[in-house]
Amino acid sequence: MSKEGTVKKTGKTVTFLLYLCSLVSSSLTPFLHVQTCLGAKKPFTEVIKANIGDAHAMGQKPITFFRQVLALCSYPALLEDSKFPEDAKQRARRILEACGGHSIGAYSASQGIECIRQDVARYIEKRDGGIPSNPDNIYLSTGASDAIVTILKLLVCGEGRDRTGVMISIPQYPLYSAALADLGAVQINYYLDEDNCWSLNITELRRALSAAREHCNPRVLCIINPGNPTGQVQSRQCIEDVIRFAKEEHLFLMADEVYQDNVYAEGCQFHSFKKVLFEMGPEYSNTVEMASFHSTSKCYMGECGFRGGYMEVINLDPEVKAQLIKLVSVRLCPPVPGQALLDLVVNPPQPDEPSYATFMKERTAVLSALAEKARLTEQIFNTVPGITCNPVQGAMYTFPRITLPQKAIDKAKELGLVPDMFYCMRLLDEEGICLVPGSGFGQREGTYHFRMTILPPTEKLKVVLQKIREFQLHFTQEFS
Amino acid sequence: MWNMKQLEYGALARRANQIKDELRQGVRRPYKEVIDVFQGDLHRAGMKPLTFVRQVLAACVYPPLINSSNLPLDVRQRAQEELGRCVGGSGYYNQTSQIKLYCQFCNVQDIHSTEMPFRPLLNREASPRTGVLIPVPCHNKTVLSITQLGAVAVPYYLSEEQGWALQVEELQRALESAKGVCNPVALYVINPGNPAGYVQSQKSVLEVIRFAWEKRLFLLVDELYQDRVYGENCEFVSYKRAVSEMGPPFSGTVELASFHSVSKGFSGEYVCGLRAGYVELVNLDPAVMKYIHTLFSKDACSPVLGQIALDLMTDPPKPGDPSYLLYKQVGPENCTLVYVKKVHEVVNSLPGFSCPPIEGGLFAFPRLHLTPKAIQKAKELGLQPDTFYCTRLLEEGGVFTGPGWEYGQKEGTYHIRYNTSRALFKELLRRLSSFHMTFMKDFS
């Protein structure tokens, strides 16, 4: 049956495969695996994976306090162990109290443990200068991805010309394109302006929307801020303009804010969509429908494996919320350790608590290292002929543009590869550095990029930058 | 039969939570706490976790514990091994299926989402729509997953009179009924059953495999309760093993996906909250395998703690290990199921209840023979008759159970579902018996 095609490979499905192959470099993985197995001699002794935003895998240390509390929750007998600080024990007790049977092994409510949702609401209020947040509008999730896909499922409907269209930035994080392909939604691309630090222009949003109305029913506008892969941090003015646009055009706003603590550039500041929405007054705050997303995978925590996250929904119709509850209940509940971790992120040690000093030291160390690496990366890449790099204002990546000689482009075509995939494969083969080709994220026709994380430790990152510089020069020469 | 919008989903659960809150606030009711036997969550029902598993998880999460002399040596060693597999420690995204937990199996993927079993099979753009044969009664999430993906759930009825046996003639009828409605591509089987507590005989398993082979159906086998088998002369037979033992042509061609989870009694631990399990894929076309790998990649990875728990459960402490004695005492003890027989006997003896022997799984699904008066009352209130019963049982008896209609049942029959947790069974039986006698009298 499968030989006849259980799974029909439509054009969309193939594109979706390409994006995913790029994202997790699964197409590169077999290559890596085979080479390792064969003990092949290479001009490098290790592969440096600067492809996925996985901080711990690149040596970033977890926050001690978080791990202590999670250990206490996993094995509560440790509550008797004097080596654990009192504030950690207190948090663990509170979390366990809220769990069924006082165990993180029990299912939680589908929307997430109630006291944790309350803590998340308080965190949002504090972050947004006191603007109220209702715990009933908070849905805990398995990473932010789970919540993003859930909302998309809720919004995608219709057939033919009425099929839901979803606006997403190019370049974008391929979860969106994959989810849209999977749901059979129409992807509506709006291009970020590379010449202006990847900024978002309303004229471009209008162009994209107007063109899309010919063939679908645009209902959703997704924005990633700080951006992935591009690293830009949108200005407050820009966020206001986007909200205004969403209201005028009756679009549901999805604000992916998982990198909200990762802001490095001078003059840049994270402005939450919710805060700006409410500061624009009731005309907007009472009407614009929105969901904003956060996660425990990024920022200074980097706890990708725990799969913690949440979304806050604003101005959803109560009947829609009732369906949303049913939708999330199908997957029972988000992982409880992830929920517990999220609780600690929104409820970290306070100045008068024993763990505060260590916590702040660790947090500051992570964020300042990232800021330094962001600066270093931009600086070094911009000295390499053929590579231009916008400032890494935030998030965890750089998305430099590479100029490829025509001969290289032709060679790629010969091999049936997209040009920047060809570039990345060669870089892996010759220097042992694993990046993700820009084609996986989307880019303007005729331009090529790669995405590199700034996560390797500083000394290693310097080596990586140096090797890429050497490779770029050598590659350009080979194909000149 | 099922429409997601119409399901009065969670109404009873909300009411149960309300009552729990009221009791916490000191409101007087005829009981001091709600007995929650609605879900298959034994921790919530008071079961204690396995020390070994929790100790290893704690040490993985907080590695300084590996040097703690308060933890047994085997715990510390296992934690070290597990962390060794997680590059960068347990906060890491595992590249999908990178932790090769089951080296002897190929094609094993970790799953953590109910809809994952169906995703690769269901082509949203297909016309006619894809169909999946599912048992009645069935876990209600299954139906929601299928309909959510735009496919059609095609019911086949298990035979309650024959201990919920799966009859091939019924499979045939179901397949026929799908003509003109959808294109059935898969057959979903639950063994041991949920909610009905049957365990398929070897003969039945072989019949189903043969049917799937003849009709070119993809077999999806939910085997989550494989460690909970207690009926006399009952034995769990894995579909994978049966397919393989049938030899060619079946062994090389029957396409199969079998599922297991850490939530449901894997070696005696029930860590539902960790959200981990696995699917084993047999005889899939390599091109389809590649697609499946990509599909799994979209969801980053299964929660790492769950993956570690899964590994521990497939390789528990052995005789001679420091943790073995405690593990042996508590672990399998969680699966001592003599009391399940008691639950069955008592319920069966109540007038108005009948129940085939509970052979396996986590639940009882007895049939309620409601009087016309009770059914009429339910209608007046706009409730399904078994929902009406469960609502009254919750309000008056303080027992939270699931009404049969949510799982599917033959028209005109009514059931309730509750988990057979050891911790609560005595109190459950006492309250259920007392409530039931009063209810039957009120509506005689």
* Whether residues A167 and A242 fall in one domain: yes
Which residue from A334, A97, A80, A100 is spatially nearest to B47, judged by alpha carbons? A100
d(Cα A158, Cα B336) in Å, to the nearest integer? Answer: 52
Residue, of A80 and B90, whose pLDDT is higher: A80
Rg (C-alpha) for chain A, rounded Å, is 23
Rg (C-alpha) for chain B, rounded Å, is 23
In chain A, what residues touch B270 (CB-CB under 8 Å)? 105
pLDDT bucket at B266, cuts 50 / 70 / 90: low
In chain A, what residues touch B291 (CB-CB under 8 Å)? 7, 17
> Residue B163: what pLDDT?
92
Pick the range with the lowest mean pLDDT from A71-75, A412-416, B14-18, B207-211.
B14-18
Instruction: Give the CATH number for residue A21.
Output: 3.90.1150.10
Q: Residue type for A229, please? A: P
* Whether residues A397 and A306 fall in one domain: no
* Whether residues A383 and A442 fall in one domain: yes
* Whether residues A333 and A368 fall in one domain: no
Neighbours of B235 (CB within 10 A): 11
Whether the CB of B434 is below 8 Å from some CB of chain A: the reply is: no
Q: What is the DSSP letter of A105?
A: T
DSSP H or E segment with residue A182: helix A175-183
Q: Is residue A65 part of a domain?
A: no
Q: What average pLDDT does chain B have? A: 84
b/e map B260-273, b = 16+ CB within 10 Å: bbbbbbbbbbbbbb
Q: What is the mean pLDDT of residues B68-80?
A: 92
d(Cα A184, Cα B358) in Å, to the nearest integer? Answer: 43
Domains with residue ranges and CATH for chain B: 1-30+334-443 (3.90.1150.10), 116-261 (3.40.640.10)
Note whether A106 contacts B41, CB cutoff 8 Å. Answer: yes
* Whether residues A330 and A386 fall in one domain: no
Residue, of A182 and A454, whose pLDDT is higher: A454
> Residue A35: what pLDDT?
44
A138 close to A292: Cβ distance less than 8 angstroms: no
A162 close to A141: Cβ distance less than 8 angstroms: no
Q: Is A191's pLDDT higher than 80?
A: yes
Two structure tokens written together for A213: 């109305």
Q: What is the mean pLDDT of residues A68-84?
A: 94
How many structural domains compose chain A? 2
Residue, of B246 and B86, whose pLDDT is higher: B246
Domain assignment of residue A321, given as a range: 97-346
* Whether residues A341 and A368 fall in one domain: no
pLDDT bucket at B260, cuts 50 / 70 / 90: confident
> Residue B116: what pLDDT?
57
Q: Is residue A406 part of a domain?
A: yes
Minimum distance, in Å, between the CA of residue B144 and any CA atom of chain A: 7
* Whether residues A312 and A395 fall in one domain: no
Q: What is the mean pLDDT of residues A347-351?
A: 95
Whether the CB of B82 is below 8 Å from some CB of chain A: the reply is: no
Q: Is residue A172 part of a domain?
A: yes
Q: What is the mean pLDDT of residues A3-14?
A: 32
Q: Is A230's pLDDT higher than 70?
A: yes
Whether the CB of B249 is below 8 Å from some CB of chain A: the reply is: no
ipTM at complex level = 0.83
According to the per-residue pLDDT averaged within each range, which of A332-341, B137-146, B166-175, B295-304 is highest? B166-175
- A208 exposed, middle or buried (CB, 10 Å; 0-12, 13-18, 19+)? buried
Q: Is residue A385 part of a domain?
A: yes
Q: Is residue A15 part of a domain?
A: yes
Q: Is residue A161 part of a domain?
A: yes
pLDDT tens per residue, range A379-415: 999 999 999 999 999 999 999 999 999 999 999 999 9
Which residue from B406, B431, B422 is spatially nearest to B9, judged by alpha carbons? B406
* Whether residues A106 and A41 fall in one domain: no
pLDDT bucket at A321, cuts 50 / 70 / 90: very high
Residue, of B72 and A29, whose pLDDT is higher: B72
Q: What angle, rounded to 10 degrees, do the helices at B304-314 and B73-85 form?
A: 130
Distance spanning both ends of chain A, measured CA to CA: 49
Percent of chain A surpassing pLDDT 90: 79
Q: What is the mean pLDDT of residues B367-387?
A: 95
Angle, CA of A408, A409 and A412, to the nearest 5°:
85
In chain B, what residues touch A325 (CB-CB under 8 Å)? 9-10
In chain B, what residues touch A306 (CB-CB under 8 Å)? 91, 303-305
* Whether residues A324 and A380 fall in one domain: no
**Chain center to CA of A261:** 12
* Whether residues A262 and A132 fall in one domain: yes
In chain A, what residues touch B273 (CB-CB under 8 Å)? 99, 103-108, 333, 335-337
Q: Which neighbouring-strand residues pair with A291?
A: A254, A313
* Whether residues A328 and A404 fall in one domain: no
* Whether residues A117 and A45 fall in one domain: no
Residue, of B353 and A11, whose pLDDT is higher: B353
Whether the CB of A305 is below 8 Å from some CB of chain B: the reply is: yes
Q: Is B225's pLDDT higher than 50?
A: yes
HSE-up of residue B132 (Cα within 13 Å, Cβ side) = 29
Q: Is A292's pLDDT higher than 50?
A: yes
State whether residue B260 is helix, strand or coil.
Answer: strand
Task: Give residues 115 to 144 of B whose Cβ lies within 8 Å of A.
Answer: 115, 120-121, 123-126, 141, 144
State whether residue A30 is helix, strand or coil.
Answer: helix
Q: Which residue in A12, A22, A80, A107 has the most chain B C-beta atoms within 10 A of its own C-beta, making it the best mutation to test that interface?
A: A107
